[in-house]
């Protein structure tokens, strides 16, 4: 594994994508971004990130559809961390077999510790 | 008496004739007389005829000589006569007892029949026979020997025409559960009852009807019981139908509540998402800038500018969501204030169009309107409605394209139409378009809180207008706001012109 860890952000909100991209790249991560599940799958054809940060509510292809399509691909699979808005949305993480979740509004520290935690663990 | 006279006359005739006959022939004649007497007149007259015959023969052919000597002729005559007398007497008795038994049986049937039986004779319908069951229908009443009109004056007008018909036509009449007024006991008030009865013509040998047999059963209790059962069944059916309707109603109510509950859940989760997303980026951008400042002493100028721009955008988004929520609350509790005045709707439309042109470069926003159209309305609210329709038009045509706003005055109303060429709305989602929290497009940038059209519709309704939507065949959607014109509303140029 090369030294730089790579994170894929899948979120339809442009501002959120920009924020995560800046926050992680400032800490030395390579960041890939996709505006929906279909774009994310396209990115995954070419690159293999160490972690996927996934928003569930997206147009075209939402988080649930993306997760099942992604898990249908041959392994290895990067761990998925779900970005959720409501407390009641804890279950999507379990539904799609995600490694964890990140509840909005999350601050930079939380984001960085999640990225650190899931990219450091051996796959 | 008359029978005996006839028999004596017959014997006398035979005596006269037999004077010119030989004894054997005379004997046969006497025999015939005895047999005839036995058949038609009975045992007693037959014995009398027998004795007279013996006397006659003795007088004619063997004058009484007191010696009672048995001559051949005497012996033959007496023997035959005795035999005939015995046979005839026995036959007559058997016939008699058979007829008696027959009559007895008939009488038993009539007496014990559970139905009322009566025989009415003649043109006046006189009761010639009634059985106890018939009498039981009016226990205290004298019926036998009276006419129908005398016995039943209260129902004569109803039954007499029927009886006369039977008499005239010779055809039986049958009635089932016919209601008739009946005086049960003389002096008591007439009570109604139901009767099933038959009038059967009774014919003489030659075929003409001289009497009518009446068979009658009172069915009052049956009819009433049947009616009660019928009523109860109807009531039960009605009850079942009501229960069914109630359960359907409850089911629908429950379903509505479940739908509302689902809508509420969706709304809360949407609201959380819509509110938390801008808050997350506001915090995130502020924090990343702070971190840069800590690390580098100052944020990169380019990133600072971009961040400020994003913060501005996100705070606007938050403000819009908060305003929508406040509007809904005010609409719900009726505290949405309106400050109506005469305003130029074309000016408002052009203002909204100009603002929209600054937001998007992919869309061509065109306005077709007269120079000035006045309405009596709250200008801020009308601007909000048009801006909402414009915002939707931009949002739901992600690939860009023309957006046309047309203002027209016609038929006592002002019409503002906003037409896009975007993704439109799927037919199954069109019904609830103006409902609260309803979002035709789930997820992503295109979704909102689902309150925009609801608020717009409520505002337009408060102004006495309405919003309609149609979906042109070449795609997109066309929302038309119809508002009443202001007092003395005028348009400087009703043709309208593109600008």
Closest CA of chain A from B270, distance in Å: 9
Does B310 contact A at CB distance below 8 Å? Answer: yes
Alpha helices for B297-417 (secondary structure H): 301-332, 345-359, 379-395
* pLDDT score, position B489: 45
CB-nearest to B284 from A19, A57, A89 is A19
Residue B416 has pLDDT above 90, yes or no: yes
What is the distance of C-alpha B306 from the center of its chain?
Answer: 75
* pLDDT score, position B333: 82
Residue B138 has pLDDT above 70, yes or no: yes
Chain B residue numbers touching A16 (CB-CB < 8 A): 277, 280-281, 284
Does B445 contact A at CB distance below 8 Å? Answer: yes
Instruction: Give B 51-110 residues with CB within 8 A of chain A.
Output: none
Chain A residue numbers touching B285 (CB-CB < 8 A): 15, 18-19, 22
Q: pLDDT confidence of B494, banded at 50, 70, 90?
A: very low
* pLDDT score, position A73: 86
What the block records as the tokens of B114 is 């559970």
Q: pLDDT confidence of B445, banded at 50, 70, 90?
A: very low
Chain B residue numbers touching A12 (CB-CB < 8 A): 443-445
Closest CA of chain A from B312, distance in Å: 11
* pLDDT score, position B495: 44
Contact A59 B441 (CB under 8 A): yes
Chain B residue numbers touching A82 (CB-CB < 8 A): none
* pLDDT score, position B446: 46
Does B269 contact A at CB distance below 8 Å? Answer: yes
pLDDT tens sequence across B188-217 = 888 888 999 999 999 876 778 889 999 999
Query: Could you tell me what percent of chain B has a pLDDT over 70?
Result: 84
CB B151 within 8 A of CB B135: no
Q: Of A18-27, A71-80, B41-50, which has the strongest mean pLDDT?
A: A18-27
CB-nearest to A104 from B276, B310, B313 is B276
Residue of B262, B281, B302, B423 best to disrupt the A interface, most CBs of A under 10 A = B281
What the block records as the tokens of B478 is 């066309």
Query: What mean pLDDT value characterizes chain B?
Result: 83
Cβ-based burial of B374 (10 A; exposed 0-12, middle 13-18, buried ≥19)? buried
Cα distance between residue B200 and residue A59, in whole Å: 92
pLDDT tens sequence across B275-298 = 888 899 899 999 999 998 888 888
Residue B64 has pLDDT above 70, yes or no: no
Interval A38-51 mean pLDDT: 90
Of A112, A113, A100, which is closest to residue B288 (Cα–Cα)?
A112
Q: pLDDT confidence of B90, banded at 50, 70, 90?
A: confident
CB B330 within 8 A of CB B336: yes
Q: pLDDT confidence of B127, banded at 50, 70, 90?
A: very high
What the block records as the tokens of B368 is 């077709």
| Residue B491 DSSP label | B
Interval B162-185 mean pLDDT: 90
pLDDT tens sequence across B390-405 = 988 988 888 888 999 9
Residue B151 has pLDDT above 70, yes or no: yes
Residue B82 has pLDDT above 50, yes or no: yes
* pLDDT score, position A123: 44
Chain B residue numbers touching A15 (CB-CB < 8 A): 277-278, 281, 285, 310, 313-314
* pLDDT score, position B52: 75
Of B372, B387, B391, which is closest to residue B486 (Cα–Cα)?
B372
Interchain CB contacts (distance < 8 Å): A and B: 86
* pLDDT score, position B490: 46
Does B272 contact A at CB distance below 8 Å? Answer: yes
Residue B496 has pLDDT above 70, yes or no: no
Residue B84 has pLDDT above 90, yes or no: no
Cα distance between residue B436 and residue B122, in whole Å: 90
What the block records as the tokens of B420 is 């896009």
Instruction: Output Rg (C-alpha) for chain B, integer angstroms.
Output: 59
Closest CA of chain B from A27, distance in Å: 10
Residue B222 has pLDDT above 50, yes or no: yes
Residue B474 has pLDDT above 60, yes or no: yes
Chain B residue numbers touching A107 (CB-CB < 8 A): 283-284, 287
Does B280 contact A at CB distance below 8 Å? Answer: yes
Check if the interface score ipTM surpasses 0.90. no
| Residue B428 DSSP label | G
CB-nearest to A107 from B272, B287, B303 is B287
Chain B residue numbers touching A108 (CB-CB < 8 A): 284, 287-288, 291
Does the N-terminal peptide bond of residue A105 adopt cis geometry, omega within 30 degrees of 0?
yes
pLDDT tens sequence across A90-119 = 577 777 888 888 888 888 999 999 998 888
* pLDDT score, position B386: 94
Interval B472-479 mean pLDDT: 88
- Selected residue with higher pLDDT from B495 and B152: B152
Contact A36 B444 (CB under 8 A): yes
User: Considering the entire predicted model, what is its pTM?
Assistant: 0.52
Contact B310 A107 (CB under 8 A): no
Nearest-by-CA chain A residue for B309: A15
Nearest-by-CA chain B residue for A13: B445
CB B338 within 8 A of CB B299: no
Cβ neighbour number for residue B359 with a 10 Å cutoff: 11
| Residue B349 DSSP label | H
């Amino acid at each position: 594994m090369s030294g730089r860890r790579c994170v894929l952000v899948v979120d339809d909100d442009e501002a959120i994508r920009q924020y995560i991209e800046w926050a992680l790249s400032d800490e030395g991560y390579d960041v890939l971004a996709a505006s929906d599940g279909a774009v994310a799958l396209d990115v995954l054809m070419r690159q293999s990130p160490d972690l996927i940060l996934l928003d569930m509510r997206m147009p075209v292809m939402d988080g649930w559809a993306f997760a099942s399509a992604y898990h249908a691909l041959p392994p290895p699979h990067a761990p998925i961390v779900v970005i959720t808005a409501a407390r009641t949305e804890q279950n999507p993480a379990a539904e799609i077999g995600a490694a964890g979740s990140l509840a909005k509004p999350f601050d930079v520290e939380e984001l960085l510790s999640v990225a650190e935690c899931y990219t450091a663990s051996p796959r | 008496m008359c029978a005996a006279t006839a028999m004596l006359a017959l014997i006398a005739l035979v005596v006269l004739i037999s004077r010119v006959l030989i004894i054997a022939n005379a004997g046969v004649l006497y025999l015939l007389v005895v047999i005839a007497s036995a058949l038609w007149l009975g045992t007693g007259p037959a014995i009398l005829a027998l004795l007279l015959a013996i006397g006659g023969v003795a007088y004619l052919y063997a004058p009484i000589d007191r010696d009672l000597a048995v001559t051949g002729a005497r012996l033959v005559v007496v023997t035959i006569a005795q035999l005939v007398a015995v046979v005839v007497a026995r036959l007559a008795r058997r016939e008699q007892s058979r007829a008696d038994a027959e009559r007895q049986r008939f009488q038993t049937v009539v007496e014990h029949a559970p139905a009322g039986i009566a025989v009415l004779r003649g043109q006046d319908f006189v009761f010639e026979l009634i059985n106890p069951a018939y009498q039981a229908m009016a226990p205290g009443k004298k019926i036998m020997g009276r006419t129908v009109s005398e016995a039943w004056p209260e129902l004569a007008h109803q039954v007499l025409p029927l009886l006369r018909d039977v008499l005239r036509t010779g055809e039986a009449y049958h009635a089932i559960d016919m209601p008739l007024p009946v005086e049960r006991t003389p002096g008591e008030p007439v009570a109604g009852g139901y009767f099933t009865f038959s009038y059967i013509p009774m014919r003489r040998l030659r075929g003409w009807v001289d009497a009518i047999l009446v068979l009658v059963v009172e069915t009052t209790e049956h009819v009433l019981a049947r009616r009660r059962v019928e009523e109860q069944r109807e009531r039960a059916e009605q009850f079942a139908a009501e229960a069914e309707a109630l359960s359907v109603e409850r089911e629908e109510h429950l379903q509505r509540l479940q739908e509302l509950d689902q809508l509420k859940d969706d709304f809360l989760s949407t609201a959380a998402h819509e509110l938390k997303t801008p808050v997350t980026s506001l915090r995130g951008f502020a924090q990343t800038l702070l971190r840069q400042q800590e690390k580098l002493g100052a944020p990169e100028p380019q990133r600072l500018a971009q961040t400020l721009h994003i913060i501005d955008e996100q705070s606007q988004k938050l403000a819009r969501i908060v305003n929508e929520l406040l509007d809904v609350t005010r609409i719900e509790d009726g505290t949405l204030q309106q400050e109506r005045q005469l305003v130029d709707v074309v000016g408002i439309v052009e203002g909204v169009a100009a603002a929209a042109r600054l937001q998007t470069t992919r869309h061509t926003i065109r306005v077709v309107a007269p120079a000035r159209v006045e309405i009596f309305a709250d200008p801020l609210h009308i601007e909000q409605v048009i801006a909402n329709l414009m915002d939707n038009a931009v949002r739901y045509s992600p690939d860009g394209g023309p957006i046309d706003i047309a203002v027209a005055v016609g038929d006592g109303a002002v019409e503002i139409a906003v037409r896009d060429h975007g993704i439109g709305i799927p037919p199954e989602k069109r019904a609830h378009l103006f409902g609260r929290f309803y979002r035709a497009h789930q997820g992503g940038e295109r979704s909102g809180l689902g309150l925009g059209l609801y608020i717009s519709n409520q505002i337009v309704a408060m102004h006495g207008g309405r919003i309609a939507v149609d979906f042109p065949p070449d795609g997109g959607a066309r929302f038309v706001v119809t508002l009443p014109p202001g007092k003395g509303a005028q348009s400087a140029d009703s043709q309208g012109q593109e600008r």
